[in-house]
């Protein structure tokens, strides 16, 4: 179970149970939808961006524990960040879960998000962790849809 513990860490299980920023934002001025056709996970992001800053962000959707926890922690991580800072986090997160960035030895601003490094050992689950980030990336680029395929 040692590897499992690396994937289903307490913080991930907790965010799965009590996702933060879950629900619709009424005054959102940017939305994007993400889906993972492989497993049917669906996610919708709501953002309120003012002066290039993500003032508010939330999500709705259904998915596994990994995708739900990742979305929850993503919204916390990028709230009140500039769009560029959020994009940088997206890029670092993406590199981490695909094995191109070692968060322990290389410089990064991932902070708590490092908890998802373990997903690397579970290739079938990488897309679960990155769905919300791909959707954020789409929203920041004014695209309506993101897909992990």
Binding site for another protein (CB under 8 A): 1, 3-4, 7-8, 13, 16, 38-41, 62-66, 122, 124-125, 128
Q: Is the dihedral of CA 21, 73, 33, 91 positive or negative?
A: positive
| 23-33 as b/e: b if 16+ CB within 10 A | eebeebebebb
Shortest separation between residue 49's beta carbon and another protein, angstroms: 30
Beta carbon nearer to another protein, 30 or 125: 125
Phi, psi of 46 (to 5 degrees): -120, 130
Q: Which two tokens stand for residue 6?
A: 């690396």
Shortest separation between residue 64's beta carbon and another protein, angstroms: 4
Beta carbon nearer to another protein, 4 or 145: 4
Shortest separation between residue 101's beta carbon and another protein, angstroms: 23
Beta carbon nearer to another protein, 49 or 128: 128
Q: Is 48 helix (H, G, I), strand (E, B) or coil?
A: strand
């Amino acid at each position: 179970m040692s590897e499992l513990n690396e994937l289903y860490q307490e913080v991930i299980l907790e965010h799965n149970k009590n996702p933060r920023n879950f629900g619709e934002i009424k005054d959102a001025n940017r939305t994007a939808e993400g889906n993972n056709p492989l497993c049917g996970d669906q996610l919708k992001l709501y953002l309120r961006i003012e002066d290039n800053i993500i003032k508010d962000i939330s999500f709705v959707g259904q998915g596994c524990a990994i995708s739900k926890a990742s979305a929850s922690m993503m919204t916390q991580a990028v709230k009140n960040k500039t769009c560029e800072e959020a994009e940088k986090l997206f890029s670092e997160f993406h590199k981490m879960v695909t094995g191109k960035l070692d968060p322990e030895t290389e410089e990064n601003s991932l902070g708590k998000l490092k908890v998802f490094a373990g997903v690397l050992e579970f290739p079938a689950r990488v897309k679960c962790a990155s769905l919300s980030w791909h959707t954020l990336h789409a929203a920041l680029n004014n695209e309506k849809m993101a897909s992990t395929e």
